[in-house]
Amino acid sequence: MITEQSRNSKNILGLFLKGEVITTVAILVVLTYFLVSRGLPMVLTIIIDFAVFAIVTMSLNLETGFTGIPQFGRVLAVIAGAFAVGAIPGRIMAASMGLPWGLKYAKDSIHYQISPELTQVLANSWVFSLLFLIFCVTIAAASGAGIGWLTSRPAIRLKEAYLGISLLAFGDFFMWVGHNWEPLVGGSTAVYVPDPFRIFGGGRFQAVVIVIFLVAMLVYAYLNRLTSSPFGRSLKMIRDNEVSAAAAGKDITRIRTQSLVIGSMLAGVAGGLYVIYTGTVTAMGYSRLVWTFWPWAFMMLGGIGSTTGVLLGVMVLTIMRTMITVYRFQLFGFLMAWGINPLWLEYTLMGAVIIGVILFLPHGLVPEKVQPMLPAGRVKKLFSGGMAAKPR
């Protein structure tokens, strides 16, 4: 009896000592502090940043954590979704209203005059706003999937560092195309996107937060189901040993292509939602630091190959970035006397956090858990002889 009670006590204690439970409690405490000290807008800002980057990081985890692809061009699919939403829906609306919609649409002297008219049309119709939002998400997903398929071509032939460098170069290439070719998304000036959430009036920000957060949770549920399926086990097999996967009859080229297409599609959705949230598209706003290296940091902190860990990693680092931004002058203002501007401490301190993660949490907050092919109960039954043939 005593042994059974002590075993139960140890199980309960082990539950509360799990990294994910401790991290979740700490997150809730910090969010409560922000809610009390800074108000609801600060908490909503953290949640929407978390939701957008959670989608991007989960897509990266699918390709890198589960498939083993060195995806250093995550920004590429994000740019594809963002540019698609910034360039296509507004032009279609402008064309239907008899306004300039061709190459001149993105010219600042013309665009700034017609963009309020486009938004006003959406603000007058719930149905039109909903259809516009669905269309934006659809073309963002299609654009991301298309870019994913294109990048899968070198992924078939290149390995490891060569593939990573190629994907990184592709991301910079498309960013500079958008920056220098004005007819796409305005070049060096921002292009406004018709706002489907303007119909909510003063509650616009809260509505955007709710919608993007729900999308992030749907992506989480989808990837959990996908990675637990036979397809997910095939991804892990290819990641761990391509030779064994090929010997087992797996089509490595097709599976890697599918992983890239799915991951890029989700990243494209994140890029499109981010554009709708901010209301503008600026090519230089999609740098590899923010949209490739930060997701890598989120993934490493949470746990490579762990979808739940990725969510926690994104939230923890998003809160830390917010705290650094809010309190850097209060805590490090004394550095001004030494000629150091605390304005740039975000990158320094975040770099220190990443180094700390690599040194002290090499497997992340929630390491990938080994999933048995058979349920635990059936395995115990097999080892206990429960499957043995009964004597006649």
Average pLDDT over residues 230-236: 91
Confidence band (pLDDT; 50, 70, 90) for 291? Answer: very high
More confident residue, 231 or 187: 231
More confident residue, 349 or 272: 272
Average pLDDT over residues 371-377: 62
Give the integer Cα–Cα distance in Å for 83 and 281. 7
Confidence band (pLDDT; 50, 70, 90) for 18? Answer: low
Q: Give the pLDDT of residue 9.
A: 44
Instruction: State yes or no: pLDDT of 116 exceeds 70.
Output: yes
DSSP, res 333: G
* DSSP assignment of 121-160: HHHT-HHHHHHHHHHHHHHHHHHHHHHHHHHHHHHHH--H
Instruction: State yes or no: pLDDT of 373 exceeds 70.
Output: no
Give the integer Cα–Cα distance in Å for 32 and 28. 6
Instruction: State yes or no: pLDDT of 94 exceeds 80.
Output: yes
What's this model's pTM, rounded to 2 decimal places?
Answer: 0.87
Residue 96 carries which side chain, given as an amino acid letter? Answer: S
Residue listed under structure tokens 């989700």: 266
Average pLDDT over residues 83-94: 93
Average pLDDT over residues 85-100: 91
Query: Which range (237-246, 315-324, 367-376) has the least confidence?
Result: 367-376
Residues pairing with 280 in the sheet = 192
- Token pair recorded at residue 370: 């080994």
Let me know the angle formed at the C-alpha of 147 by 266 and 304, rounded to the nearest 5 degrees: 45
Average pLDDT of the chain to the nearest whole number:
85
Phi, psi of 192 (to 5 degrees): -80, 145
Question: β-strand 280-281 against 191-192: which pairing, if any?
Answer: antiparallel
Q: Which CATH class is domain 40-383?
A: mainly alpha
Give the integer Cα–Cα distance in Å for 243 and 159. 14
